[in-house]
Structure 1
Amino acid sequence: MENNRNWAGNYKYSAAELHVPETVEQVQEWVARSSRIKALGTRHSFNGIADCTESLISLHKLNRVIEIDHKRNKVTVEGGIRYGDLSHELYGCGYALHNLASLPHITIAGACATATHGSGDRSGNLASAVHSMEVVKADGERVVFSRDQQEGLIAGAVVGLGGLGVITQITLDVVPAFQISQYVFDNLPLAQLKDHFDDIFSSAYSVSLFTDWKTSNFNQVWLKRKISDHDSTFVESDFFGAKPASAPRHPVPGYSAENCSEQLGIPGPWHERLPHFRMDFTPSAGEELQSEYFVPRQDAYHALCAIDRIRDCISPHLYVSEIRTIAEDHLWMSPCYKQDSVAIHFTWKADWEAVRQLLPIIEEQIAPFHARPHWAKLFAMPPVHLQSLYEKLPDFQQLLLQCDPQGKFSNAFLKNYIMENYS
């Protein structure tokens, strides 16, 4: 298979061939006749969750908006569409999604399947917007999971980790379009979170804290404020000890802000402000590795202090770390299942050996807080421990077997972290 690496270049896919169907019928045909096959999105996973030893299938040609339902406030899209492309079309019709990830370049299907998220005290992860989804199962037949069905299996199917089949269609909840003003502040002391955590993270629709862990300060605070909630021209002269940025910032110190979303309080559409990076520019730092861990919101300050204690080990290998809040959901394999959570993200320099040695040290520090890793990023957690963090894992295992009894969509990642010790 040509171009057989992921976006970051750290992972090499082992598949012998890549299918690029132009119709759902072709998806069904290729799935039915394959013995092993996996769906491949925009290759933004950093581990083998989307790998397969035989065939990969990309839906990037199946990327249309099928219908915008004005009566039910929903949009139905094909499985290959990216958030940036959908967002532009939604905005033109007066609608918005409740949230977006840092990158608008990723597919909706891939983001939802791995519980990818944005930020916001009252905003669930991206998968929480899914009302229904159509999946091509191992036998090539289509099945629909929906909130309208009494069985409730949609809660298990949405964050499906690629194990149920190929997602060919998704219906999402939408909300009225809104405007955002983005402000950046410099140098917020970590100690401010001890008594002001809720004040800081409730101060905007979406809040991100960035640090390189060289000191016990956050280098930057990004506040994305909904215009209806705040005067777009208002900005504090002091934000819990942090000062307003005098010019646009890139999250990674020393990088140009040219490819970042507009700052300095300039109002703009939701889809041009909620992501950190612009759709038409190269996202983030380029060659990099990523890890991320979710801890219960009530434990976040202590978890961050635990990481601060080992920052001298972390900072030489780090581009930047980002802290965000995510509301609870009821999706079985979501790291935010039944708990308001805080995500601690690491964007590493492309030195896998150094990162490989660091991850167990970080995980040991945050283990007392029952930290769950992002499914599509790098972690060192033993499978038996990871499995113990998900109370609905037995139900999810049964759902996988129901949709894929022969393991056609299984791979080393799923066998290791999901199906190991299954009985």
Structure 2
Amino acid sequence: MARNWAGTYEYTAPRIVEAASVDDVRRVLREPGRVRALGTRHSFTDLPDTTGTLVDVTGFAAEFELDEAAQTVTVPAGIRYGVLAMWLDDRGWALRNMGSLPHINVGGATATGTHGSGDANPVLSASVRALRYVGADADVHDVRRGDPDFDALVVGLGAYGIVVSLTLDIQPSFRVRQDIYTGVSWDAALAHYDEITSAGYSVSVFSRWEEPSVGYVWIKTRLDADDDVVPDTIFDGVRALTGDSPLGVEDNVTELAGVPGPWMLRLPHFRLDAQPSFGDEIQSEYFVARADAPAALNAVRALGESIRPHLIWTELRTAAADELWLSPAYRRDVVIIHFTWLNHPDEVAAALGRIEAALQPFDARPHWGKLHGFDRAAMERVHPRLADARAVFERLDPDGRFTNAHLERVGVREPR
């Protein structure tokens, strides 16, 4: 019985093949039937599932190709970000950003538009410079930044083939410290939201929608020197001097209390060598335009009492705009409203209905791999290039080998 990493979704595919090479993937695609890629299983829905064969791509060897002149690294799609990050840092290089969990694989994270965090940092997908995939013809295809289909295929949801490797932008290694501020009021947070989110290289606010404090403001500061000074206060909040985490878990978060460290041990919230987050959880996430942040947050804030019994944490963060057609940050800077829920499926579904109604005036876009209630009409309303992307996927896979019920439900593929 195969489940996602949190144990809250059980895959229905009758067959899972563990691929260790491109040839293994090609062999599967020479056989009849539907096929979908499976990575580190961090989706919370039936998005990766299929009535045919799941191809697990996490078994490829951890072999990386570094091009220092071009400032790129080429990696297997199934590799975890944390493994790649350690390899890069050993050689003096870095990724621009990472997700909260270094456990996620590069192919799955970029295919679903998964975030990094920071006002000037786009989602992780924007670092993709090229990708290689095995198509419905069982042949290998390469697509590079600037090619006609590139902006459709990067956040491609596995809708056109099995991505086997990606080339990512890199930069020289850097140092980061993490500090948490408590006591920031909602009044201050909403009146000065842009100033708070620009207070560091990456800023997250952890909230349970309680009053009067917004919760915890978690600031990651990119350092020129380890003794760079950070402020003791941020508006009406005060910097915590202990290393306690607002996530309420022990021994699995990266080091806090302002201790400087390498980028790959500070940008993620969680450590690669420990179980991330809480487990037995459901996640949801919505992206709204930065300009709408105060109004959108107030709309969700009004629901706080009804959603709090089923909520572990909400995390608020930001990301910069990009040009990827199905990115949740396509052509708009965004504030990201993330929910980590208790495993209460019925209650969470009801809460999401209320949240999505509250966020509808702001054209909120859901995270593709997390639980939401959007259908095709709702997706078409908020994703202006959805029809264009769907046309590309239908052209590349006319027989629908890579489609499934989820992709058809949300309008990424045509029904069959």
TM-score class, shorter-chain normalisation, is over 0.9
Q: For the aligned residues, what is the CA RMSD?
A: 1.6
Judge conservation of contact 2:390–2:413 (CA < 8 Å) in 1.
no
The match for 1:329 among 319, 322, 331 is 322
Higher mean C-alpha displacement, 52-61 vs 378-387: 378-387
- Whole-angstrom distance in 1 between the partners of 2:291 and 2:105: 31
The residue number in structure 1 matching 2:39 is 41
Contact in 2 for aligned 1:189/1:216 (Cα 8 Å): yes
Query: 1: CA distance between counterparts of 2:226 and 2:76?
Result: 37
**Counterpart contact for 2:177–2:259, Cα < 8 Å:** yes
For residue 145 of structure 1, what is the aligned residue in structure 2? 143
What's 1:18 paired with? Answer: 16
Residue in structure 2 matched with residue 84 of structure 1 by the alignment: 82
Q: Who is 2:292 aligned against?
A: 299
Alpha-carbon distance in structure 2 between the residues aligned to 1:24 and 1:315: 46
1:148 CA displacement: 4.6
Work out the CA distance in 1 between the residues paired with 2:119 and 2:112: 20
SS at match of 1:184: strand
Distance 1:193 1:275 in 2: 23
Please give the residue correspondences for 1:158-173 in structure 2 after superposition, counting only pairs within 5 Å.
158-173=154-169
Equivalent in the alignment of 1:245: 240
Letter in 2 for 1:42: T
Tell whether the 8 Å contact from 2:197 to 2:318 is kept in structure 1 after alignment.
Answer: yes
The answer as to whether partners of 1:63 and 1:79 remain within 8 angstroms in 2 is: no
Given that residues 14 and 54 in structure 1 are in contact (C-alpha distance below 8 angstroms), is that contact kept between their aligned partners in structure 2?
Answer: no
- 1:29, CA displacement in angstroms? 1.1
1:341 and 2:296 matched: no
1:203 paired to 2:199 = yes
How far is the alpha carbon of 1:232 from its aligned partner? 3.8
Residue matched to 2:391? 398
More displaced stretch, 122-131 vs 188-197:
188-197
**1:259 partner SS:** coil
The answer on 1:372 being equivalent to 2:361 is no
Letter in 1 for 2:233: D
- Give the letter aligned to residue 151 of structure 2: A
Between the two proteins, the alignment pairs up a number of residues equal to 416
Question: For the structure 1 residues 64 and 234, does the alpha-carbon distance in structure 2 shift closer, same or farther, using more than 3 Å as the test?
Answer: same
Counterparts of 1:355 and 1:187, CA distance in 2 = 28
Quickly say closer, same or farther: Cα 1:258–1:66, change in 2 above 3 A.
closer
Q: CA deviation at 1:233?
A: 5.1
Q: Partners in 2 of 1:17 and 1:263 — Cα distance? A: 43
1:180 alignment partner, SS class:
strand
Whole-angstrom CA distance in 2 between matches of 1:157 and 1:413? 18
For the 8 Å contact 2:403–2:413, the answer to whether it is kept is no
Contact 2:394 2:413 in 1 (8 A): no
Deviation at 1:244, TM superposition (A): 1.5
The unaligned stretches of length 5 or more in structure 2 are: none
Tell me, what secondary structure is at the counterpart of 2:326?
coil
- Distance in 2 of aligned mates of 1:358 and 1:407: 34
Larger deviation, residues 208-217 vs 88-97: 208-217
Equivalent residue number for residue 379 of structure 2? 386
Q: Go from structure 1 to structure 2 and tell me whether the alpha carbon gap of 1:412 and 1:216 turns closer, same or farther (over 3 Å shift).
A: farther
Alpha carbons 1:216, 1:308 under 8 Å: kept: no
Structure 1 residue 64 displacement after superposition? 2.2
CA distance in 1, matches of 2:213, 2:135: 49
**Which of 229, 232, 235 lines up with 2:230 in the alignment?**
235
Q: Provide Cα deviations, 1:21-63, integer angstroms capped at 9, x if missing partner.
A: 2221111111221311100011110001100112101111114
- Cα contact 2:115–2:123 (8 A) shared by 1: yes
Shift in Å at residue 187 of structure 1? 2.5
Name the residue aligned to 2:26.
28
Q: What is the letter of the counterpart of residue 395 of structure 1?
A: D
1:310 is aligned to 2:303: yes
- 1:182 is matched with 178
CA displacement at 1:381 relative to structure 2: 2.4
**Structure 2: distance between partners of 1:65 and 1:299:** 43
Report if aligned partners of 1:249, 1:256 keep a CA contact under 8 Å in 2.
Answer: no
